[in-house]
Amino acid sequence: MSINAENITHDSVAAGAAVPEATPEEAAALEVLYQDFESENLIPLWTQIADLMPMVPTPKAVPHVWRWDTLLPLAERSGDLVPVGRGGERRAIALANPGLGGKPYVTPTLWAAIQYLGGHETAPEHRHSQNAFRFVVEGEGVWTVVNGDPVRMSRGDFLLTPGWNFHGHHNETDQPMAWLDGLDIPFVHYTDTAFFEFGTERVTDESTPDISRSERLWANPGLRPLSGLQNTISSPIGAYRWEHTDRALTEQLRLEDEGHPATVSQGHAAVRFVNPTTGGDVMSTIRAQFHRLRAGASTDTVREVGSSVYQVFEGRGSIVINGETNVLEKGDLIVVPSWAAWSLHAETEFDLFQFGDHPIIERLNLNRSYTEGRATS
C-alpha cells in the first residue's frame, strides 16, 4: 500500500468534479431528483464518498486518558448513592470516548467500565451474548461465579466471562472493590446479535475457593484433560493469575539478558492471553495482552487497524499518540483508536494491560499495520 496516496483525497480530486457547472435548468432538475431520492429512501454515493470511503481510516473515536485517581472516587460516590441489583444489574461506569457522540463506548466496538462492589454486596446472576472480562488493578475480596464456578478476583488477575455464561459477583469482605470490565457491547449492539437472560438473585455458589474449578482442570501448561478434547469457542480458563503473567514476563526479560530471543522487541516483554484448546484469542471478539517495558525502553511507532485500551498496572511512562505525549501512572486508562500512530515509553519498569478488537479485524481479513521506518504489511 502506498501510504503517500494520502496526499490525493476525494476532496482534492472531486472539487467541482462530480457535478460540474450546471445550467439553471439542470440545477433545478437535480434538486428535484435529490428530493425524489429522499422520498424513496435513496442516497447517492457521489455526495457521500469522501466520508464513507476515506483514503485511510478516519476514526471518530479520539485518543483520551481517564485517570484512576478520578475514576475511583466517582465509583465510591456511586457506591453510596446507587444500589446494585436486578434491573440495573451492575454498578459499572463506562468510559465514553469523547469522539463517539455521548455513547458509552470507549471505541466503536468496545466497552470499558470501572465496576464497583461494596462490602458484602452481590451483583445478581445473568447471562448475555456479549463477551466480558475483568482485570483487577488493585484490591481483592470479590468472587465472580461463572456458570456455577466461583472465581477469586485479586490484583493482576485477568478473568473471563465469555458470552452466554451465567455470572454474578459477591463481595465477601467489609471493603469495597473496584475493577476494570471489558466487553464487546458496542459491537454486539451494532451487529444486532444481543441476547440476555436473567439468572438468580444471589450467586449460585457462595463458596470462596482460592482457585476455581476451571483453573484446576485447564490451567496446567501443555496438559489437556481427556474429558475436554472438543475445542471451545472461548477459553475454558476462568482466571489467568498474576503469578503466572508476572513470571512469564520476568522470564522473557531474563532470556533477553541471557542473549536469547524471547521479547517482542528490545526491552519489551509481552504475552497474549489465549484459549488453550486452540492457542488463539480468549474470546472471538476481544484480544487481551500484557506488556512489560524495562525502565528506559521504547517501542517503535506503529499504526494498526483496530482499536485498543491500555491500563497501567504498575510503574510510570507514556504513550505518544499521533505525536502527542500522554504520561500515565498506575490505574490510568488510555484509548488508542484505529490507525493512530503510537509508541510506548517507560520511565520506570512499566506494566500495562491491553485489550482490543483485533480478533474482529483479523477474522474478517481487514488487518493492516505500518511501522515507521519499515515496509507495510
Distant-in-sequence, close-in-space partners of 122: CB < 8 Å, separation ≥ 6: 84, 168, 169, 170, 171, 201, 202, 203
**Site membership for a copy of itself, residue 37 (CB under 8 A):** yes
- Considering only 26-34, 137-145, 168-176, 309-317, which stretch makes contact with a copy of itself by CB under 8 A? 26-34
- Which residue, 164, 163, 160, is CA-closest to 214? 160
CB of 139 to a copy of itself, least distance (A): 19
Among 119, 198, 296, 325, binds a copy of itself (CB under 8 A): 198
Report the residue from 35, 173, 175, 191 that binds a copy of itself according to the rule CB under 8 A.
191
Please provide the distance, in angstroms rounded to a whole number, between the alpha carbons at the two ends of the chain: 8
Residues 340-359 touching a copy of itself, rule: CB under 8 A, are 357, 359
Q: Which position among 117, 180, 352, 360 is part of the footprint of a copy of itself (CB under 8 A)?
A: 360
Which of the residues 129 through 148 are near a copy of itself (CB under 8 A)? 129-130
Residues in the chain: 377
By rule CB under 8 A, what string of x and - marks binding of each residue 208-237 to a copy of itself?
A: -----x--xxxxxxxxxxxx-x-x-x-x-x
- Site for a copy of itself contains 375 (CB under 8 A): no
Smallest distance from the beta carbon of 89 to a copy of itself, in angstroms? Answer: 6
Which triple of cell numbers denotes residue 205?
455458589
Which CB, 33 or 173, lies closer to a copy of itself? 33
Kindly tell me which of 3 and 295 has the beta carbon lying closer to a copy of itself: 3
| Interaction between residue 33 and a copy of itself (CB under 8 A) | yes
At closest approach, how far in Å is the CB of 343 from a copy of itself? Answer: 16
Q: Are 11 and 19 in contact (CB under 8 A)?
A: no
Rounded Cα distance, 353 and 134, in Å: 11
295/366 with CB nearer a copy of itself: 366
Instruction: Name the minimum Å distance from CB 309 to a copy of itself.
Output: 13
Cβ 142 vs Cβ 168: under 8 Å: no
Nearest alpha-carbon partner for 245 in 311, 299, 282, 292 = 292
138 SS3 class: coil
For the CB of residue 172, give the shortest distance to a copy of itself in the complex, in Å.
20
Q: 14: burial class by Cβ within 10 Å (0-12, 13-18, 19+)?
A: middle
Please, what is the Cα angle at 60 between 73 and 17, to 5 degrees? 165
Amino acid making up residue 124: P
Is residue 48 close enough to count as binding a copy of itself by CB under 8 A?
yes
- Interacting positions 241-280 with a copy of itself (CB under 8 A): 244-245, 247-248, 251-252, 254-255, 258, 260-264, 270-279
If DSSP codes are grouped into helix, strand and coil, which group holds residue 118?
coil
| Among 143, 240, 313, 350, contact with a copy of itself (rule: CB under 8 A) | 240
The DSSP bridge partners found for residue 334 are 65, 310
